[in-house]
A and B are shown apart, each in its own frame.
Chain A
């Protein structure tokens, strides 16, 4: 996120600091372990960070595995469906319907099919990440300007070459939108699946803390999740800016005119 390199950092810190102080004051006045203040949370972070980092590692690994499985399957499939108009238009309503199904609702079924191992969790994550990926890729490839295809044909590209060299890069801006949604979705489902059917991961850690009434520890874990999410989002955004500079710069120049 841009605030990581914001030059107006100081003024940006005022509101968060005020909120933290207010929270601390409220916590002091409540003076119960069920309502810890930021200080207690900081202490928990200090004590537990090796454990938290380790557990988040499991969570992230599964989220990443699910995401990549989804990307490898869904991006080519989406481009193919966008090209095969007849097949695509018949399958589109199916996709629309799947898209309206909240991904966590699939967890129980996958749990029954595939048990509670890593494979099951990765499958649910891949499903959850796959839907926004295929929706966006399909939409992009379907609405590509016919000119690109004509150029490809006049250069006598084969179908596969056209998809790799033309359809894929031309679809990338919309695929990037799908990637952002998919990353968020993968993280969400990864944590949810852990809470329902896991032996490790940050979701399990959170649940343990809940069971032991360790609110401050739980909030420490949430703080880590938020940092990790921030970093992942930032990486995705940087990668996108780098790979798609031509898209942003070209739309900028068009807007200038």
Chain B
């Protein structure tokens, strides 16, 4: 029975434990020399690389560019996606006409768009807006269409009996009911948005974390490359946290109903 308790306590600290495991494994691989140190620097070296980039200011400016691109992109893509989903819900013919476009555009990976888009849009914000929106609009759109279509008839009839207009039913009944699923889409969109931005920065080669990653890699500054990867992962966490916070605000009823914390 004692071992049971111990497991529970361990589970409480598992994030810390697994972080320690990563550090210890990493450090022992590095110091045992299993992999050439050139490719697998120690934690200290990575931290030093991080500090150097902080001091020179290049990390902060790259990070700000990348995260703001990703956030603005996913925010506009989500709004556009929800808007299109609402449009599709109001006008089924729009949805049908839009379906082949969605089916054709959705599978295009952002990397394939970059070379051509650079020509038409340059290296500025237009490029990132175009690429991020084009690849992240789909999850909120598809989830929105599906969720709006599956709102229960009883709830809609209730609204009709209360004398609500079509628009009011949409605003007061269908959209709130669809929000949890839309947010599942936004959450996925936020992770692809970060991917798309990093890819575009890598390929367009101008600024941002992706560009910095490539530059450091070509300069064989391995500790810096690892430090940048760590920063990228932290960005993923930041995006998740923001989306979860928003979900709690706009679709919290579901989490509260099923009795789980966000």
CB distance from A147 to the nearest CB of B (A): 21
Q: Which residues of A contact B239 (CB under 8 A)?
A: 100
CB distance from A88 to the nearest CB of B (A): 10
In this complex, the member of A92, A230, A232, A233 whose beta carbon has the largest number of chain B beta carbons within 10 angstroms is: A230
Residue of A nearest to B197 (CB): A102
Give the distance in Å from the alpha carbon of A3 to the alpha carbon of B97 in the complex.
10
Chain B at the A interface: SS class: helix
**Stretch of A148-156, A159-167, A199-207, A242-250 on the interface side:** A199-207
A11 touching B229, Cβ below 8 Å: no
CB distance from B258 to the nearest CB of A (A): 14
**Stretch of A70-78, A103-111, A138-146 on the interface side:** A103-111
CB distance from B153 to the nearest CB of A (A): 13
A94 touching B107, Cβ below 8 Å: no
A108 touching B96, Cβ below 8 Å: no
Q: A6-B99, A102-B236 are in contact. List 4 more A-B contacts (CB 8 A).
A: A100-B191, A188-B195, A191-B112, A207-B115
Known: A90-B14, A100-B240, A226-B105. A192 touches B111 (CB 8 A): yes
A15 touching B198, Cβ below 8 Å: no
B18 touching A188, Cβ below 8 Å: no
A196 on the B face (CB < 8 A): yes
Q: Which residues of B contact A16 (CB under 8 A)?
A: 97, 100-101
Q: What is the count of residue pairs linking A and B with beta-carbon distances less than 8 angstroms?
A: 176
Binary per-residue interface labels of chain A (177-216) against chain B in the complex, 1 for a CB within 8 Å, 0 otherwise:
0000000100110011001100000110011011001010
CB distance from A92 to the nearest CB of B (A): 7
Residue of A nearest to B108 (CB): A226
Binary per-residue interface labels of chain A (84-117) against chain B in the complex, 1 for a CB within 8 Å, 0 otherwise:
0010011111100111111111111101110000
Binary per-residue interface labels of chain B (205-216) against chain A in the complex, 1 for a CB within 8 Å, 0 otherwise:
000011001101
Residues of chain B touching chain A, judged by Cβ–Cβ distance below 8 Å, are 7, 10-11, 14-15, 17-19, 21-22, 39, 93-94, 96-101, 103-116, 118-120, 191, 194-195, 198-199, 202-203, 209-210, 213-214, 216-217, 220, 222, 225-226, 228-229, 232-237, 239-240
A192 touching B108, Cβ below 8 Å: no
A34 on the B face (CB < 8 A): yes
Q: Which residues of B contact A210 (CB under 8 A)?
A: 115-116, 118-119
B107 touching A91, Cβ below 8 Å: no
Give the distance in Å from the alpha carbon of A1 to the alpha carbon of B100 in the complex.
9
A12 on the B face (CB < 8 A): yes
B109 touching A192, Cβ below 8 Å: yes
A81 on the B face (CB < 8 A): no
Give the distance in Å from the alpha carbon of A128 to the alpha carbon of B192 in the complex.
12
